[in-house]
Structure 1
Amino acid sequence: MRLFVFGLGYSATTFAKAIVDKAESIGGTVRTPEKAARLRAAGIDALVFDGTEPGPGVTEAVGQATHLVISIAPGEAGDPVLAHYADAIAAAPKLEWIGYLSTVGIYGGHDGEWVDEDTPPRPRPGRSANRLAAEQAWTDLADAKGCPLGVFRIAGIYGPGRNAFVNLAAGKARRVVKPGQVFNRIHVADIAGTLVAAASAQAPGIYNLADDEPAPPQDVVAFAADLMGVAPPPEVPFAEADLTPMARSFYGDNKRVANRRIKEDLGVRLAYPTYRDGLTALWRDGTWRRPD
């Protein structure tokens, strides 16, 4: 396997490190030369691509890749990877599998009901609608090339450096209460494990990456505070909460996301099936702090 990742951010870098033993080579893109240098020191052949113009060496790296993963969000103008590299990807002679990282936001709101991969998307205008358009664009490219495509719709991501403990320690944690509101989450290690399974099997199809227990956000903060031995912040009714427009928009998508397909089709066993499992491990192991 020669893996190339567009967008070596939090989740994709965790995946790249998890699959290192299965890969002959691992490369990918970052936005700055400084981050590229750090990743190269860790054994990942990072190249610079900021989304506005082609980056040096990227086309050549795509031409050598057998597995391609895309972890760069689209904008209003569309998917920047397709804008600059669609032809290179379509012509890549060794490419055997493409993975596209998307979001459960494409399902929209469902009044707390369950959704699965067969639920018709109904994204809100903006970020979620852009994601769905990008999913379709990657599907069209993969179909035209005859290459299997895995689409991974990811719930709220947490893990080392990104969790309720960090927010509590910084005094930024909030317990906003909207009756009936739940969210799914997914530990970054379980994202990595699922992607390793899918890339190894060259699995096509759509997969929800979510934990087993959608839960109210205020419960997660309270559980983390209890583990830390600190008082949780007071509950604030949603109608009274001072939220940014982006934060408020998340509360408009109330649903429970089923994850059966990753278990049945990919054989995934979540290491952290609930937020309690994930937060307990982060606190017990001391890995909750922001990684260096």
Structure 2
Amino acid sequence: MNLFVFGPGYTAQQFIGPYRHRFARIGGTLRSETKAETLEASGIIPYFFDAERYDPGIVDEIRRVDALLVSIPPAPGSDPVLRSLSDAIASAPRLRWIGYLSTVGVYGDANGAWVDENTPPSPVNERSRHRIAAEGQWLDLGKGAPFSVQIFRLAGIYGPGRNALLKVANGTARRLIKPGQVFNRIHAADIAHVLMASIDRPSRNAIYNVADDEPCPPQDVIAYAARLLGLEPPPEEPFATADLSPMARSFYQDNKRVRNTRIKDELGVRLRFPTYREGLEALHAAGEGVGSSGEKIRREE
């Protein structure tokens, strides 16, 4: 089986790593030639791609591909992959699975209520509105096609090298308190598990929420990470008066609890890290947030 990845960043790399043996050939895109060696070291054949131009070799890869993973953010008004390569993808002779990585942000704000894949999207920012438009374009491509299109709406991603343990250890963690606010999150290893399960069991025009079992206040995650490291957690800060960038503040516009029942019932997925506690414990056991000498990295006072 051959795989091609548009945008082999953190999440895609966390998928490729444990499942490399399932693929005879893996190609992927880059926007900077300086990253070619990094992709090659990961066993990924690199091809240039951006919204304006692309390596024509991508078309040859699409002709031989069985699975296509799309992890490139949409542009206003169109998905950049479909804008350039929709005809090549639609006519790919071997293609049977397309996975598009989206976000639970498309549901918008539910005032802390539960949402599932049947909940009508109601995005509150431009990023999520572009995501909904791109989802629709990919699902339209799959209508009547010989391949299956799957949309994966991801919760907040964490994993090796990207987690609360590291933020607490290096002093960048903050405990922002917004009463009633909750988020779901998902370990990168569980995203990888869901993607592989879907490739093994494709379902036409399916949408999946990829989230953990326990939506919770973000400050709880920071406090638990600090406890694991044996450090004092950062002080609580009222969200209303906190000094935040517009981007950081925008994430708190969405308050919802995301159901993940469909990945369990339809794909047979059992989450390895059903809550942030199991995820952080495993990362801590692997040495995240701990210096090379084995001592915990202390925040600078």
What range is the shorter-chain TM-score in?
A: over 0.9
Tell me the equivalent position of 1:145: 145
Tell me the equivalent position of 1:234: 235
Per mean C-alpha deviation after superposition, the further-off stretch among 35-44 and 237-246 is 35-44
TM-score, normalised to structure 2, is: 0.92
Q: What is the alpha-carbon root mean square deviation over aligned residues? A: 1.5
Tell me the equivalent position of 1:225: 226
Tell me the equivalent position of 2:296: none
Conservation of the 8 A alpha-carbon contact between 2:165 and 2:225: yes
Residue type of the alignment partner of 1:98: I
Deviation (angstroms), 1:129: 0.4
Residue type of the alignment partner of 1:284: A
Tell me the equivalent position of 1:263: 264
Deviation (angstroms), 1:124: 1.6
Tell me the equivalent position of 1:178: 178
The CA deviation string for residues 68-90 of structure 1, in whole angstroms up to 9 with x for no partner, is 11000102242111111111111
Tell me the equivalent position of 2:166: 166
Deviation (angstroms), 1:13: 1.2
Deviation (angstroms), 1:31: 2.1
Which ranges of structure 2 fall in alignment gaps of 5 or more residues? Answer: 292-301
Per mean C-alpha deviation after superposition, the further-off stretch among 164-173 and 50-59 is 50-59
Residue type of the alignment partner of 1:218: Q
The 2-side partners of 1:195 and 1:122 are apart by: 25
The 2-side partners of 1:288 and 1:76 are apart by: 38
The CA deviation string for residues 229-286 of structure 1, in whole angstroms up to 9 with x for no partner, is 1111111111111111111111110000000110111011111110010001101111
The CA deviation string for residues 158-207 of structure 1, in whole angstroms up to 9 with x for no partner, is 01111112212222111000000000000001001110110122233110
The alignment status of 1:191 with 2:195, answered yes or no, reads: no
Per mean C-alpha deviation after superposition, the further-off stretch among 196-205 and 252-261 is 196-205
Residue type of the alignment partner of 1:11: T
The 1-side partners of 2:156 and 2:290 are apart by: 18
The 2-side partners of 1:15 and 1:99 are apart by: 12
Per mean C-alpha deviation after superposition, the further-off stretch among 198-207 and 114-123 is 198-207
Matches within 5 A, 1:64-213: 64-204=64-204, 205-213=206-214
Cα 1:68–1:265 shift into 2, 3 Å: same
Residue type of the alignment partner of 2:17: K
The 2-side partners of 1:36 and 1:261 are apart by: 37
Residue type of the alignment partner of 1:257: V
Task: Tell me which stretches of 4 or more aligned residues in structure 1 moved more than 4 Å.
Answer: 287-290
Tell me the equivalent position of 2:33: 33
Deviation (angstroms), 1:58: 1.0
Cα 1:268–1:176 shift into 2, 3 Å: same
The 1-side partners of 2:277 and 2:283 are apart by: 10
The 2-side partners of 1:61 and 1:18 are apart by: 22
The 2-side partners of 1:122 and 1:255 are apart by: 12
Question: SS at the partner of 1:145?
Answer: coil
Conservation of the 8 A alpha-carbon contact between 1:66 and 1:97: yes
Per mean C-alpha deviation after superposition, the further-off stretch among 52-61 and 159-168 is 52-61
Identity of aligned residues (%): 55
Which ranges of structure 1 fall in alignment gaps of 5 or more residues? Answer: none
Q: How many residues align?
A: 290
Deviation (angstroms), 1:146: 3.9
Residue type of the alignment partner of 1:247: A
Deviation (angstroms), 1:42: 2.6
Residue type of the alignment partner of 2:86: A
